[in-house]
Structure 1
Amino acid sequence: DKDLAPQVLLVGHGSNSCNNPHAAGLDCGACGGQTGEVNVRVLAYLLNQTEVRKGLAEQGITIPDNTKFIAAMHNTTTDDVQLYGGNVDAQLSSWFEQASSLARQERATRLGLTHLNGQALHTAIRNRSKDWSQVRPEWSLANNAAFIVAPRWRTRGVDFDGRAFLHDYDHFEDGDRSLLTLIMTAPMVVANWINLQYYASACDNHVYGSGNKVLHNVVEGAVGVFEGNGGDLRIGLPMQSLHNGEKWMHEPLRLSVYIDAPREAIEGIIDEHQVVADLINNDWLFLYRWGRKGTIERYYQGNWRSAYSSMKDKA
């Protein structure tokens, strides 16, 4: 068992844009197209309550008296992070300011703002989020390609260029595979939803996407959008979420899932959960096992096949 840190951050995410009928597509997929603000604020409040902690202790979950849960929101459009609650540690705020600045600088290339940095870049990105004529306030999850479930040390220092969902997971601390079950039945499934939305919208935008965002007319009651004077509701992502006007910003690939866990644990979860089995057995995603010796095996039609074995490993 490991004690919790004195400060535990619960960070949700959401976006900020104006005149954007597709704003929900920039928010949290796991939250049903909403931001995660309510979730993190309510959870932090509950976990800071003495009575709640007493109840958790009765179930074998001990929260140290000096541990404080702090709710925060990451604005993925501007990379600002808002910390909720009073008496926020100054060092914590400073760390987030530094992280936000680095994240904005990294995003600048895709936004065409490489000539700016520091406060000038921050101001330009904030202005984009408030510009009613801006059809590309952020690139959200365009170009997503992989979902990695492994200890953080295995991916630390690797530049995935924003294309991978990362889960810090150590199977040696998950003897009953309950954590892996949760990951494979919840966030992995949501990541697949997101991936397929981008995949379909990029492969055939006329059928599975919503066409030109500039021509969209919102149907009364926010039911959906028409494109121009067309009479059919449009679904999926608009071209402006996939293409920058000169080139595609999303490469349509089915999600590749890499898991550092024993074969038996992964197979057991597939056998026990039909929704997971359907995604894998019907090739809606590709499942790989990332071994501690550097081997990579693909799970295909109920069997493991070597995919790559020359990767160097630390262990």
Structure 2
Amino acid sequence: MEINNQELINTALSVIEIESASVRKLADRIDDNFIKACRLLICSKKSVVITGVGKSAHIGKKIAATMTSTGTPAIFMHAVEALHGDLGITPAGSAVIAISYSGETEEILKLIPTFKRFAIPIVSITGNPNSALAQQANINLNVHVEKEACPNGLAPTASTTASLAMGDALAMCLLQAKGFSERDFATFHPGGSLGKKLLTTVKDIMHQHDELPMVVKDTSIEEALSEMSQKNLGMTTIVDSISNKKVIGIFTDGDIRRTLASNINIETEMITKVMSNKFIYVTGKTSTSEAINLMEKYKIYCFPVLDDKGSLIGAFSMHDLISARLV
């Protein structure tokens, strides 16, 4: 069978429209029942156990992964395997999310007596509020869709998307209820770019000791320019004295252009005449994520790093962030 390009486009657009419409209709079902489901899961003393069969199993795995990475311990348990021993991962104190669009999945229904025996509450996600699963669950979340996006009306498409969206809504509400922060997210994602930015501090990448661009206050502009050229960080700091390294100003590449345009004698004039005594700095504990935000906000691409007393302990630039693959 041949299909032309326009037919492919029309099919794709139809799928997106049907699935997006199915998700939009869920908004009308975010009600007291949804709140009760959130409260039930928040009160779970153990893990949230998510179960399903077929395509619902794949959706359940994704919801479990999302919850686990956002502060809610969760695990997926295949309903078939649960009937053959895996029920051991649902101890008392757990809560169950059972996903079945028909609400009549035999393997899931066979698990319900065991859940009830151990007083494990059940939140069902079904497309039929009158189904056996919905009726036996403590709370049912209705994800009914008018039709699937499959041209034959057979392959689970809109229904699985709706189930996933409902699961994501639960996960994000639990995240908020638990006060799960951006830094918490980074802790659980140390290998990701966000985790690396949040967990890596300025101290980890900054230049120190002999690499620091630094001159004392009675240094000439010419000598300061030489220091900048040698250290190659796009700036130099001006300190009160070598002993205490208390920073009283900075001089950057941008200041060079302004200085040369003013016809100042760089051999005789002191750097204090042209330095900026109001400047942005960071501490060694500052996350590189925060440093990047400061760079974007103030359009500054190099920073001095100061300790609690205002003394210079390091310096870094955008190039250091790039070298560390943080941007």
**Shorter chain as normaliser: what TM range?**
under 0.3
Is the radius of gyration larger for structure 1 or structure 2? 2
The structure where helix makes up a greater share of residues is: 2
Q: With structure 1 as the length reference, what TM-score do the two structures score?
A: 0.26
